[in-house]
Amino acid sequence: MRLPCSDIVDGPGPSEVSVTVSNATGEKVEVIVHESFVKDGKLEVYRIGSQGDSVLVELPRESTRGNWRIWVNNVLA
């Protein structure tokens, strides 16, 4: 599953990019990933489950805040 991301910039290492995604409450979450996880402005994530209008996804790498999983709006996922 792919999640829209923004602020796609070069990361600290070769072939890495830093991207920003929004969680279900609208907070911005920054993740540094291998560039192969980002295609057409969308980040590859893994669907874990859902509840109401939200989907729990696992990020391909730990976020800068230390989260591996975040809740996102179902319409974004």
> Model confidence over 5-48: pLDDT tens digits?
999 999 999 999 999 999 999 999 999 999 999 999 999 999 99
Give residue 74's pLDDT: 85
Q: Tell me, what's the pLDDT at 52?
A: 92
Q: Tokens 């969680």 appear where?
A: 23
Q: pLDDT (tens digit, 9 = 90+) per residue, 54-71?
A: 999 999 999 999 999 999
Q: Mark 13-44 as b/e (b = at least 16 C-beta within 10 Å).
A: eeeebbbbbbbbeeeebebbbeeebbeeebbe
pTM of the shown model: 0.89
If you search the block for the tokens 């602020």, which residue do you land on? 7
What pLDDT does 76 receive? 61
What are the counts of helices (DSSP H) followed by strands (DSSP E) for the chain?
A: 0, 9
